[in-house]
Amino acid sequence: MPTPRPELLIEMQRRMWRVRAFDERAVELRHAREIHGPVHPSIGQEAACVGACMALREDDTLTGNHRSHGHPIAKGSELGPLMAELLGKATGVCGGMGGSMHLADFSVGSLGETGIVGAGIPIAVGAGLSARVRGTDQICIAFFGDGASNHGTFHESLNLAAIWKLPVLFFCENNGYAATTSLARATSVEDVAERAAGYRMPGVVVDGQDAVAVYEVTAEAAARARAGEGPSLLEAKTYRYLEHAEGEGIPGFYRDAAEIERWRQRDPLEIHRQLLLDRNLLDAAGADRIEREARAEVDAALAFARESAEPEPRAAFDVVFANSGGSGT
């Protein structure tokens, strides 16, 4: 199994802290109504997105879902343009026209996220086909939730990628719930990865709180896809610590406090911090510094976003009509 090098292990912690600090701030901004539209935080799920994205090559691509600030951050996005996008500013990655649920950052291969559950999965199959047609050995990873694995797009995508042996990784961030509906109530299998058997591809369950474990299974599946051996379905068992969407008044009746506490005991940032200390890659002061630096980066990103201008209203026409020439006609 490909094991990450020491400097990569440290970088993992840095990126996990960026994801957490970014989302903590996004939640505050949503509660303060400085962000317009729902915010779905990945707090608790950082090891899944960071472990997976860091096992990819820079020119590999990804698609996301509604809970996807973490994916471009994990792939190396600059935080300023991402935060500006959340605030609807012209300097945002999509010119302020996408917002929290529709980020795309082509500079790191993030092809886009979407508020339509399951809709990013076939786009990844298209990206895999594109890589094949263009003769590159890039791969595309599709991030989606357990709930999305009950949508038709998931099944159609796995089938097509399997028969054409496309270089696609299907990565399920299984946090046990689709909004307020538990996996047990809505899903025919215990492990989403079981569904891989129906499409004759490997199905792998991994501890989604362990960034190194996620990195290893992703790197193995990526090597397989790159070698032309086809797609894999990876399932990271994880948990979101906050609400499905913060600041929307969703009642928390569907999860009990003991369950949340159990998962909080397996905080991915604590697990990885311990690993860095145990291997003498960092001391406690060094580990604390990573957190402080990530928070400072997020502060700087927010200052950039706040100082940025709103998009011109007429700019909307540029992305709605082909050949509009920006005139809106």
Site for Mg ion, rule CB under 5 A: 145-147, 175
Q: Which is nearer to Mg ion, 114 or 175 (CB)?
A: 175
Give the position of tokens 């300097």: 91
Whole-angstrom distance, CA of residue 10 vs CA of residue 286: 10
Q: Does 244 bind ligand TPP (CB under 6 A)?
A: yes
The contact pattern for ligand TPP, residues 125-154, with x = CB under 6 A and - = no contact, is: -------------------xxxxx------
How far from the centroid of its chain's Cα atoms is residue 169's Cα?
Answer: 13
CB of 184 to Mg ion, least distance (A): 12
CB of 208 to Mg ion, least distance (A): 11
| Widest CA span in the chain | 63
Q: Which is nearer to ligand TPP, 179 or 227 (CB)?
A: 179
CB of 172 to ligand TPP, least distance (A): 8
CB 70 within 8 A of CB 50: yes
DSSP-based three-state secondary structure for 112 = strand
CB 44 within 8 A of CB 266: no
Tell me how many degrees the CA angle 142-53-282 measures, rounded to the nearest 5: 155
Q: Does 175 bind ligand TPP (CB under 6 A)?
A: yes
Interaction with ligand TPP in 293-322: which residues (CB under 6 A)? none
Q: With the CA atoms of 240, 247, 170 and 1 taken in that order, what torsion angle do they form, in degrees rounded to the nearest 10?
A: -40
CB of 240 to Mg ion, least distance (A): 8
Interaction with ligand TPP in 90-129: which residues (CB under 6 A)? 115-117
Whole-angstrom distance, CA of residue 11 vs CA of residue 58: 15
- Measured at CB, which residue is nearest to ligand TPP? 145
Q: Does 267 bind ligand TPP (CB under 6 A)?
A: no
Choose which of 36, 106, 136, 179 interacts with ligand TPP (CB under 6 A).
179
Q: Which is nearer to ligand TPP, 42 or 138 (CB)?
A: 42
Which candidate, 44, 148, 37, places its Cα nearest to that of 96?
37
Q: Does 195 bind ligand TPP (CB under 6 A)?
A: no
Q: Does 52 bind ligand TPP (CB under 6 A)?
A: no
Whole-angstrom distance, CA of residue 120 vs CA of residue 225: 19
CB of 16 to Mg ion, least distance (A): 19
How far from the centroid of its chain's Cα atoms is residue 174's Cα?
Answer: 12
Whole-number Cα distances in Å, 143 to 67, 70, 80, 174: 9, 11, 23, 10
Choose which of 177, 215, 263, 304 interacts with ligand TPP (CB under 6 A).
177
DSSP-based three-state secondary structure for 76 = coil
Q: Which is nearer to Mg ion, 117 or 294 (CB)?
A: 117
Q: Which is nearer to Mg ion, 153 or 308 (CB)?
A: 153
The residues that touch ligand TPP, with contacts defined as CB under 6 A, are: 66-67, 115-117, 144-148, 175, 177-179, 244
